[in-house]
Amino acid sequence: MRSFALVGALVAGLGATGAAGVATAAEEAVKPAPVGATAAPNWGACPPATLAGVPADQVKFYSCARYRVPIDHDNAALGTIDIALLKRTARTPDARVGSLFLNPGGPGGSGLRMPISGQYYFQPQVLDRFDLIGFDPRGVGQSNPLRCFTTQEDADEVLAAQIPVPLSRTEISGTLASYRDYGQFCKNNAGSLLNHMSTKDVVRDLDTLRAAVGDQKLTFVGFSYGTLIGSTYSSMFPKQSRAIVIDGNVDPALRTSDGVEYDRERAQGFEIALDGFLKRCDQVGAKCAFSDGTPRAKFDELREYLRKQPITIPGGGSVDINQFTGGVSSVLYSPSAFPGLAEDLQALYTAIHPAGAQTQTLQPRQMKVLTAGKQGLADQNPDSPYTSDDSYFAVNCSDKPFKIKQEQVPGIAAKWERESPTFGRYQAFADTAGCPVWPAKHPDVYRGPWRAKTDVPVVVVGNFFDPATQYKFSQRMAAELGNSRLLSVDAFGHCILGDALGVDQAVADYLTDLKVPANGQVFQPNVQPFETAAQG
């Protein structure tokens, strides 16, 4: 998982992005451009917080702007919002190709600061020849954040009632009720933007921004949910598409036609990744702390134990089924965290299987990646302002149709749990529970056709063991677009750019020189799980 990636599996409230905050003098100096695709952004100095961590000698490469777009591209009467932009200027301006727009996924991920991390997922030639442009999509972060709550206390009360893996009748009914409460707060507070948060709306903003920076055609790299932005753009604006790279792909046709089936298959993707992790643990032996015995059987035993009661670790607090499921889900995004997960799983297993005298020698330890205890907000003033945003559900509940009633969710969860014993229930009590009671009415959604009539094929990148967007989704994305090239990676984790040199070089040549990679290639990651050096 990249630092910019947003874990889409998180339930409502846990994946919210940063707040807009109070405008600083630097922000005030960046005046929004007027509505109209021909007006260029008024680039100016960035607020210091936006450039946090940028070395002093690099600040000169960055500038910021706010660009005004209509809330409804078909109805100017609804008013406007401002899109926050950050540009990292090409290092060799004489060889500049154009602008490269970036999106980290989510939905709800802040893309504003992505150019600052560009060297971690792009080859030097890309940084040399493109202005990297990051932006917060509408309703996200600093781009008119969509907010369902007015106070943090209201948000805490509603969101805390959403149990990730509800098992008892009380937990199930309370979680469903909290989603109804959430929808009511959104209906009351989110305003007209609520009905204009679809990916199609974002894509129309993106086409406006493309024209505003002076590019005849769009160059774009999108990760995770950002692959839906890229595929929607290439389908809606094929002749304005120059080079589109999408990494960690959704299945756009399924996602926009059947949210229930999409999320069922999403749960299956997490199970595939988990099974791969446990098999790899078994294969590497002593390099994996959970390898003694049969990792699969041990993991299943832990999960079933935790369904009945939490496990207490000496000196490390306790872990319940919610923390366990959410923690494992998150770690599957990031193979570098696999050794830590293995240590945590073994500590849990040892805690429920103390062997005789060993009981007396258990050393206090903290969980490395599985959270122990609840994270709270301490010493808040009453009526403290709500500074997150609710764009995750606003986008997903617009794009993904859920043709069910909320009362069907417990039955759906039970069915999915039989198919996907670790993640089925967890997935059912996210979008499938929340979207049927979401208050957006008749959002304007693009649902195909997906055949990309672009001049140059779209590059589709997929990992074999991607948990959040299983490999089958990338295969379907490539097939649905038609004019595409699928680059496969024998890798774990969600998205791969920056972590597989062969892919990185192929993408760099494609972006800079439109060199189309050969179809059907299978690449290797730079580092395999439980290894510390690049593999040959």
Indicate whether 16 pLDDT > 60: no
Q: Which helix (H) or strand (E) holds 462?
A: strand 458-465
Instruction: Say whether 323 sits in a helix, a strand or coil.
Output: helix
Find all residues with CB under 8 Å of 492, minimum gap 6, and list them: 273, 276, 277, 280, 332, 335, 338, 463, 465, 466, 525, 529
Cα–Cα distance for residue pair 258/256, rounded to 1 Å: 6
Predicted pLDDT of residue 382 = 58
Cβ count near 303 (within 10 Å)? 16
| 179 Ramachandran zone, left/alpha/beta (phi>0; psi -120 to 50) | alpha
- Give the residue-averaged pLDDT of 500-528: 97
Which residues contact residue 217 at a Cβ distance below 8 angstroms, ignoring those fewer than 6 apart? 210, 239, 240, 241, 242
Residue 32: which H helix or E strand, with range? none
Q: What is the pLDDT of residue 122?
A: 98
Q: How far apart are alpha carbons 474 and 455 in whole angstroms? A: 21
Residue 487, C-beta contacts closer than 8 angstroms, at least 6 positions apart: 459, 460, 461, 462, 503, 506, 517, 521, 523
Digit-coded pLDDT (tens) for 319-351? 999 999 999 999 999 999 999 999 999 999 999
Does residue 250 carry a pLDDT above 80?
yes
* Helices 152-160 and 169-189: angle between axes, nearest 10 degrees: 150
pLDDT at 371: 65
Mean pLDDT of the chain: 90
Q: Helices 295-306 & 338-352, crossing angle to 10 degrees? A: 60
Mean pLDDT of 159-176: 98
Structure tokens that stand for 335 in this block? 């193979």
The tokens of 212 are what? 């505003």
Of 431, 395, 386, the closest CA to residue 162 belongs to: 431
317's enclosing H/E stretch is strand 317-319
Flag whether pLDDT at 19 surpasses 60: no
Q: What is the rounded distance in angstroms from the CA atom of residue 461 to the CA atom of residue 507?
A: 10
Q: How far apart are CA 349 and CA 346, in angstroms?
A: 5
Q: At what angle do helices 259-284 and 338-352 cross, to 10 degrees?
A: 80
Tokens 């401002």 label which residue?
82
Per-residue pLDDT reduced to its tens digit, 443-476: 999 999 999 899 999 999 999 999 999 999 999 9
Answer for the pair 280, 529: CB distance below 8 angstroms, yes or no.
yes
Q: Is the pLDDT of residue 11 over 70?
A: no
Binned at pLDDT 50, 70 and 90, residue 532 comes out as confident
| pLDDT (tens digit per residue) in 195-249 | 999 999 999 999 999 999 999 999 999 999 999 999 999 999 999 999 999 999 9
Question: Torsions phi, psi of 333, nearest 5?
Answer: -70, -25
pLDDT band at 525 (very low <50, low <70, confident <90, very high): very high
Distance CA 120, CA 343 (A): 28
Spatial neighbors of 101 by CB under 8 A, at least 6 apart, are 133, 135, 206, 209, 210, 218, 219, 220, 221
Interatomic CA distance for residues 40 and 49, integer angstroms: 24
